[in-house]
Amino acid sequence: MRTIHTDVIIENLKEMCIEANLHLSADMETVIHKAKEEEDSVLGKQILGQLCENMQIAGEDKIPICQDTGMAIVFVKLGQDVHVEGMNLTDAINEGVRQGYQEGYLRKSVVKDPLIRENTKDNTPAIIHYDIVPGEQIELLVAPKGFGSENMSRVFMLKPADGVEGVKASVLQAVKDAGPNACPPMVVGVGLGGDFEKSAILAKTALTRNINEGSPLPHIRKIEEELLTEINQLGIGPGGLGGKTTALAVNIETYPTHIAGMPLAVNICCHVNRHAKRIL
Amino acid sequence: MEKHIQAPISKEIVKSLQAGDYVYITGTIYTARDAAHKRMYEGMLEGKEPPFDLKDNIIYYLGPTPAREGQVIGSAGPTTSSRMDKYAPLLMEHGLSGMIGKGKRSPAVLEAMQKQTCVYFAAVGGAGALLSKCIKKAEVIAYEDLGTEAIRKLEVENLPVIVVADAAGNNMYETAVKEYRASHGLE
């Protein structure tokens, strides 16, 4: 049994919210630079050049990469031999987000009620996904998610008979429909299997994977690679203004499902695919 | 074609801009996004004046991050324009000449743009730090209670945008992808 005080959790979350909004992870940064070199549309290359310059300014001048600093999505892997001391864990996570968004000059983009739409003014509450795991550590992963791309995400309740072709056609349709609205080049997170909500959480998890890492399952990895090629043949390109860089990666996460179904969720993220991870 | 324009923009200037033009905007523009549009629109339907004169003006669909000390504004890139589609035609009827955002517009907006002579520019989404450098002055002029969604008057210098849809009905989102595919044998 190990004791972790919520003050430590708050401090770490605060720093992670700020860090994720100012610096993309090295894998994301590298893939955008590489796309700029390889893009063959003149305007597309110019747009990717702006994105590279933007990342540099963001880091140097501490101006968020994107003005939509997102809703804070927090994935918590709580070791079952950890005793959390101090305050309620959920409250602590929200306090970390609150402090991060205030002290980091991040935008407060959360409204309290979906219809009344009054801003909570501190970007809370976060959306928290808890997972209980063995061990005596807590893993925190913060993924600030912008809504331009979130709005273009979809869940398809496919039938088993739809097979691989059905999966691919649905993902392609979601990407086509997203087009310029999702700020391409995008990262496509796919959740396949589980049930209605599990597929969506898997899709979001898929976005947090290292962009150079394919699925460990060979048949899924093949679909990821084929889909990436097919998406980039759509010609949507950077900013939706034509080009070969429409997606930077397709990441698919899977889970067992019911004999009658094949839920598929497509969670689209723009090129500002932010995440920060720490293990306490 | 690369062009430099001074905002506000007359209808003559709007007519001279063509889909595909790479434009640098200098001058005065205004920010408004979802909540400000809703309030402005509902007020106008009740016969109230909008909080600034729309005639010949450009609205930038933007909700910036807060400015740090010594900065004019925080990150300042475009938001998705389609959420303003419901409100845009009425603003055009009141003289609005240009909109800056990103993403597709509805047929009703594109039609109103031709009828009222208005242009739609896209700024690069997700380049808010870079775009903030073009903003030299920012002042909240209305709806301060809306926070990031308040209406701001901006002085901009060489703000880089692309004409996506012009007043003649050309739409680059429709044509550019098709042209790219055709030129690469992807049809």
Residue A132: per-residue pLDDT:
97
Interface subset of A 56-115, CB within 8 angstroms of B: 57-58, 61-69, 105-109
Gap from B65 CA to chain A (nearest CA, Å): 5
Whether residue A33 is contained in a domain is answered as no
CATH of residue A75's domain is 3.30.360
Residue of B4, B37, B94, B184 with catalytic role: B37
B126 touching chain A per CB within 8 A? yes
Q: Are residues A219 and A97 in the same domain?
A: no
Residue A85: per-residue pLDDT:
97
d(CA B109, CA A12): 46
Q: Which phi and psi (to 5°) does residue B60 adopt?
A: -105, 120
| Tally of CB atoms within 10 A around B70 | 6
Whether residue A31 is contained in a domain is answered as no
CB contacts of A180 in chain B (<8 Å) are: 102-104, 122, 173
Whether residue A79 is contained in a domain is answered as yes
Last residue of a domain, one of A120, A145, A170: A145
Average pLDDT over residues B158-181: 96
* Subunit contact A65:B128, Cβ cutoff 8 A: yes
Cα A93 versus chain centre, distance:
18
Gap from A2 CA to chain B (nearest CA, Å): 39
Tens-digit pLDDT profile for chain A (280 aa)?
999 999 999 999 999 999 999 999 999 999 999 999 999 999 999 999 999 999 999 999 999 999 999 999 999 999 999 999 999 999 999 999 999 999 999 999 999 999 999 999 999 999 999 999 999 999 999 999 999 999 999 999 999 999 999 999 999 999 999 999 999 999 999 999 999 999 999 999 999 999 999 999 999 999 999 999 999 999 999 999 999 999 999 999 999 999 999 999 999 999 999 999 999 9
pLDDT bracket for residue B186 (50, 70, 90):
confident
Question: How many domains in chain B?
Answer: 1
B4 counts as catalytic: no
Q: Which domain holds residue B46?
A: 2-183
Structure tokens at A256: 């067992």
Whether residue A130 is contained in a domain is answered as yes
Question: How many domains in chain A?
Answer: 2
B125 touching chain A per CB within 8 A? yes
Identity of residue A8: V
Cα dihedral A199, A278, A131, A92, rounded to 10, equals: -110
Q: Are residues A129 and A154 in the same domain?
A: no
- Least CA distance to A53: which residue of chain B? B130
pTM: 0.95
Q: Are residues A206 and A229 in the same domain?
A: yes
* Subunit contact B125:A183, Cβ cutoff 8 A: yes
Q: Which phi and psi (to 5°) does residue A132 adopt?
A: -95, 125
CATH of residue B16's domain is 3.20.130.10
Q: Are the C-beta atoms of residues A48 and A238 closer than 8 Å to each other?
A: yes
ipTM over 0.85: yes
Q: Are residues A139 and A6 in the same domain?
A: yes
Q: Are residues A113 and A153 in the same domain?
A: no
* Subunit contact B133:A69, Cβ cutoff 8 A: no
B128, B177, B179 member nearest A64 (Cβ): B128
Taking one residue from A and the other from B, the number of pairs with CB-CB distance under 8 angstroms is 158
> Using one digit for the tens of pLDDT, what is the confidence trace for B33-87?
999 999 999 999 999 999 999 999 999 999 999 999 999 999 999 999 999 999 9
Tokens 């050049």 -> residue: A49
Last residue of a domain, one of A129, A145, A161: A145
Q: Which domain holds residue A127?
A: 2-20+65-145
Is residue B187 predicted with pLDDT exceeding 90?
no
